[in-house]
Amino acid sequence: MMVVMPTLTRAEAAERASLIDVDNYHVDLDLTGDSDTFRSRTVVRFRARPGAATFLEFEPVEVGSITLNGQPVPPSAAGGARLALTGLAAENELVVDAVMRYSNNGEGLHRYTDPADGSVYLYQHLFINNGGRVLPCFDQPDLKASFRVSVTAPADWTVATNGRLVSADGGRWEFAPTERISTYLATLIAGPWHVRTAEHDGIPLALYARAALAEQLDAQAAEIFEVTAQCLDRFHEMFEIRFPFGHYQQAFAPEFNFGAMEYPGLVVFRDEYIPRSAMTETEREQRASVIAHEMAHQWFGDLVTMAWWDDLWLNESFAEYLGSRVAAEATRFTGTWTTFAMHRKAWGLRADQRPSTHPVAPSEVGDTDEALLNFDGISYAKGAAVLKQLIAWLGDEAFLAGLNAHFEAHAFGNATLADLLGALSKASGRDLSGWAEVWLRRAQVNTLRLEARVDGDTYREVAVVQSAPDGFATLRPHRIGIGLYDHADGAVVRRELIEAELDATGRTVLPALAGVRAADLLLLNDGDLAYAKIRFDEESAAAVPRLLPLLDDSLARAVIWAATLDAVVDGERPVAELVTLVLAALPVETETVIVEDVLRAARGLVDRYATAQTRPAACELLAQAADRLLAASPAGSSRQLAAARGLIGATVDTARLHGWLAGDAVPDGLAVDADLRWLIRYRLSVLGAAGPDAIEAELAADRSATGEQWAARCRAALSDPAAKEAAWSAIIGDASLSNRLAELTAAGFWQAEQRELLEPYVQRYFADMPEMMRIRSGMSAEKTAAAAYPAVMVAPRTRELAAGLLDRPGLNPILRRVVQDHDDDMRRALQSRG
C-alpha cells in the first residue's frame, strides 16, 4: 500500500492565506458502514478574492459529488491529495460528499478493534497535514474556522468532539459549533467508551476509556479529576482569560501516536496512562505533568495559535515548562523539576547535539514534512529550559504580565515570535531581541566547566569556562547557581548557594568565592536554572562517588547524575566508572525517577559502549545495584517496583525469573501482575529461556490490548532465526500491522545478547528501510525506523552502511534524519570504546 503524504510548503500556505478567509466547516460523518471506509459530507464556507484559484487538502477513496456555489465541480479536480478550485466568488460554499478510509497508523480517523472484547474505537487525529484524510479542508494553522460536527454511528456508541453535545438520539449526534480553531485541532472520538463525569468551577469534566479499562478508570478517576481541578485553578490564577472552550474532557485512546494531544475541550491521551498494573510514583507524576502540559496548550496553541510551524515553540516549549511548573505548584507531585532535570532536559541536550539540531525557533520551516521533524527534544525540553532561564532573568511578575497581554491581543487568532517578544519586552521593560537571537535563533548547546584553584583549604580563584562545539561558535549569557557542599556527621549538606551571571566572553571569574573555605563538592548549576552541559572540577568529580549517596537534596542529585551520564555519552568518562557509581549510590536512592532513569540510561550505555568482553560484567553490576535497592525498598513501594523492573532488565538469572512467574521467592509486597509477568517473559525471550509456546500461553491468559502488544515485542525478541525473520518481514512489509504493533515489534528486535544472530540484519536495515517508509508515514514511520535501527551493533561497518544510505538521492527525509542521528550516536559509542 502506497501512503500518500501531502506536503504543504510555507510559500503555498502564505499565498493561500492571502487569498481566503475561512468562516466555518460543517462536517457530517457516517460511521455505520464497513470496517475500511466511512462517509464524509462537508460544507465549507469561506471568503476569497473574486476570481482567485486555490486548493484544499483532500484524500478521498471515492468522490460522490462536489459543488462550489451550487455548481458541480468535476471529480477530476480531486487528485494528488488536493482539491483544486477555480473561479472563486467573494463568498463561497463548497459541498463535498465522499468516501474516506480509516487508518491504522494513528493519523486521520484511526480505527482500532480491542482484542479483549471485539469492540471498535475511533479517534480523529489531523495533526500537521492529515486533515484531508477526513474532510476537505484548508489545512494550515493560520486559517482558523469554527467546526460544527454531526455523526451517525451505532446507537450503543458514545461520540464526543471539541464542541458541546446538542443532541444524541438513535445513533445520531449533533454538536454545537466550536470557537475558531485550526484544522489540526479538530477531533472526535467514537465507540462504546466507558465514561466518568464531574464538574469543577462551573466547567463540565469527563473522562473516556475503552470498556476493557472500565475498572482501571473507575479506580483512577478521582486522582485524575483532582489533578485536573488543581491545574485548572492554578491556570486561572496565572491567566486573566479563563479556560475558553466550554467543557474539559479527557479521552484515553488506544494506539495514540503522541503521549497526548491538546485538542481544545477534548484532550486525547494514549491509554497507557490508564495502566491496568501497578504504577510507580514517577508514572503518576508523569501523568499529572502531561495533564498540566495539555491544559497549558488550551491557551498556548489553542486560544493563540502559531501562524506557521516555525513558531512551534510557542506551543510546545511553553506547555513543557508549564507542565512541570503547574504540576509542582498545584498538585501533590512537587518533584517535577527533579524529573525535568533528570529526564526531560537530557532529552533536549541529546537532540541538540545531533546532526539534526535546529534552533528552538528556526527562522524558516519550509514545509510540513520539515515541521514534523521538529517535534523533538529541542522544541519541547530545550525550549522549556530556556524559558526557565528567561524567567529567572525577567522575574515571574513581568513574565506573566507579558503572557496575559499576548493572550488578550491574539485570542482565537494566530501569533508569531515577534508578537510574544513584543509583549514580554513591554511588560518587563527589557529589549529581548539579543536574548532571542542567541537562545532561540541559534542551535546547539554550550558546555560549562568549573576551574577551581585552591591555596591550602581556601579558594584562590574559581571560574566558569564556557565553550561551544565546532561549527556552532555562539557563547551565551547564563544565570546559574553554584552550591558549596560539605561532608559532616555522615551527611552532605549545602553550606552556601551563590548565584552568578555568566557573560559570553568564555571565562567568568566568581569573585564571591575568592578566599572562601573550599567545599568537598562544588556543584555547578545547583537548582538547575541553566540549559548547558555541566562538567565538574577534578576535585568535585573525584568526590562524587563518596558524597552522592549521602546527599539529601533530590534535585542536586539529579543534576549530578545528569552531568555524569552526559560525560559518559560524550566519552569523557568511561562506562565502567558509571557502572561503579550506580552500584555505590543507587541502592540508597530514594527518588524513584532517579532510580528509573539511571537504570534505563546506564543499561543503554552498557549495551552500546561496553565491548562484548566487558558487557556481561557491567550488566551483572547493574543487576546487583538493582537487587540491593530491591532489598532495601519498602514492601509495595514505587522504589521496590522500579528496582524489580531494573533487575529483570539486567539479570541473566533465568531460574530466579522463572521462580517469580511461579510465585516463588517473590519479594514481600511486589505484585507479579500482568505487566510485570510480561516484562519477565520478555527478558526470558531475549535470553533464550522462553519460546513461542510460552508467549502464546501468556497471551491466552491475557487476551487484551496490552497483552497483544507485549506478545508482539516478545516474539521479535526471541533468540531464534525464524522468529527474527518473521519479525523483520512484519516491520518492513506488513501494512496491516498497526502503528503501535509495528513500533513494538521493532523495539523488541535488536538485543545486545544476540549480536551474532542479528549480524545479517545490519545490512538489511539499510537496504530494506526505504521500503518500510513506503507503507508507513508520519510519526509512526519515524518511531518504527528509529526502533528498528541496529543501535547495539556498534561497529565501523554499521557506519559505512549508514553513509551509503545517506548518499542515496531522494531519500525519505524522516528516514534520513533517523539514520543521521543514530549514526552520530554510534560515532560516540565507537569513540568511547576507542
Q: Which residue has cell 577551581?
A: 452
Instruction: Examine the pLDDT at 6 and tell me if it is beyond 80.
Output: no
Residue 408 near residue 242, CB atoms below 8 Å: no
Q: Give CA angle at 17 (86, 100), nearest 5°.
A: 65
- Tell which of 134, 160, 186 closes a domain: 160
| pLDDT tens, residue by residue, 686-745 | 999 999 999 999 999 999 999 999 999 999 999 999 999 999 999 999 999 999 999 999
Residue 153 near residue 141, CB atoms below 8 Å: no
Host domain of residue 813: 720-834
| pLDDT tens, residue by residue, 234-255 | 999 999 999 999 999 999 999 9
Instruction: Examine the pLDDT at 817 and tell me if it is beyond 80.
Output: yes
pLDDT band of residue 530 (cuts 50, 70, 90) is very high
What grid cell was written down for 518?
573550599
Count how many domains the chain has.
2
Nearest to 125 by CA among 153, 158, 102: 102
For 149-163, 261-275, 769-783, which range has the lowest pLDDT when averaged over its residues?
A: 769-783
| pLDDT tens, residue by residue, 743-764 | 999 999 999 999 999 999 999 9
State the first-to-last Cα distance of the chain, in angstroms, to the nearest integer: 44
| pLDDT tens, residue by residue, 427-451 | 999 999 999 999 999 999 999 999 9
Instruction: Examine the pLDDT at 549 and tell me if it is beyond 60.
Output: yes
Percent of the chain with pLDDT over 90: 98
| pLDDT tens, residue by residue, 282-318 | 999 999 999 999 999 999 999 999 999 999 999 999 9
Q: Which residues contact 506 (CB under 8 A, 6 or more apart)?
A: 465, 466, 467, 475
Give the pairing of strands 37-48 and 248-253.
unpaired
For 266, 519, 574, the CA distances from 331, given in Å and listed in that order, are: 21, 35, 39
Residue 383 near residue 360, CB atoms below 8 Å: yes
What 3-state class would DSSP assign to 462?
strand
Q: Which helix (H) or strand (E) holds 131?
A: none
CATH number of the domain that residue 48 is part of: 2.60.40.1730
Residue 606 near residue 562, CB atoms below 8 Å: no
The active-site residue out of 57, 59, 179, 294 is 294
Nearest to 257 by CA among 124, 139, 386, 154: 124
Q: Strands of 52-145 (E only): list them.
A: 54-57, 62-68, 71-72, 78-79, 82-85, 91-101, 108-113, 120-125
Tell me, yes or no, whether 594 lies in a domain. no
Residue 29: beta bridge partners? 40, 151
pLDDT band of residue 2 (cuts 50, 70, 90) is very low
Nearest to 88 by CA among 8, 18, 184, 149: 18
Give the span between the Cα atoms of 745 and 757, in whole angstroms.
17
Tell me, yes or no, whether 125 lies in a domain. yes
pLDDT band of residue 818 (cuts 50, 70, 90) is very high
Helix 575-585 to helix 615-632 angle, to the nearest 10 degrees? 20
Instruction: Examine the pLDDT at 4 and tell me if it is beyond 70.
Output: no
Tell me, yes or no, whether 16 lies in a domain. yes
Tell me, yes or no, whether 3 lies in a domain. yes
Nearest to 94 by CA among 129, 64, 136: 136
- Tell which of 99, 130, 160 closes a domain: 160
Give Cα 66 distance to the centre of its chain. 39
Tell me, yes or no, whether 1 lies in a domain. yes
| pLDDT tens, residue by residue, 77-113 | 999 999 999 999 999 999 999 999 999 999 999 999 9
Instruction: Check if 237 is active-site.
Output: no
Tell me, yes or no, whether 705 lies in a domain. no
Give the span between the Cα atoms of 748 and 374, in whole angstroms.
26
Tell me, yes or no, whether 461 lies in a domain. no
Nearest to 570 by CA among 818, 346, 819, 798: 346
Give the span between the Cα atoms of 817 and 811, in whole angstroms.
10
How many helices and strands, by DSSP H and E, does the chain display? 27, 29
Q: What does the pLDDT read at residue 834?
A: 82
| pLDDT tens, residue by residue, 381-416 | 999 999 999 998 899 999 999 999 999 999 999 999
Residue 463: beta bridge partners? 451, 509
pLDDT band of residue 5 (cuts 50, 70, 90) is low
Task: Give Dmax (Cα) for the chain.
Answer: 91
| pLDDT tens, residue by residue, 463-505 | 999 999 999 999 999 999 999 999 998 899 999 999 999 999 9
Instruction: Examine the pLDDT at 1 and tell me if it is beyond 90.
Output: no
Tell me, yes or no, whether 142 lies in a domain. yes
- Tell which of 160, 195, 223 closes a domain: 160
Q: Which residues contact 678 (CB under 8 A, 6 or more apart)?
A: 698, 702, 706, 707, 710, 714
| pLDDT tens, residue by residue, 554-610 | 999 999 999 999 999 999 999 999 999 999 999 999 999 999 999 999 999 999 999
Residue 461 near residue 516, CB atoms below 8 Å: no
Give the span between the Cα atoms of 498 and 479, in whole angstroms.
11
Give the pairing of strands 91-101 and 37-48.
antiparallel
The mean of the pLDDT values for the chain is 96
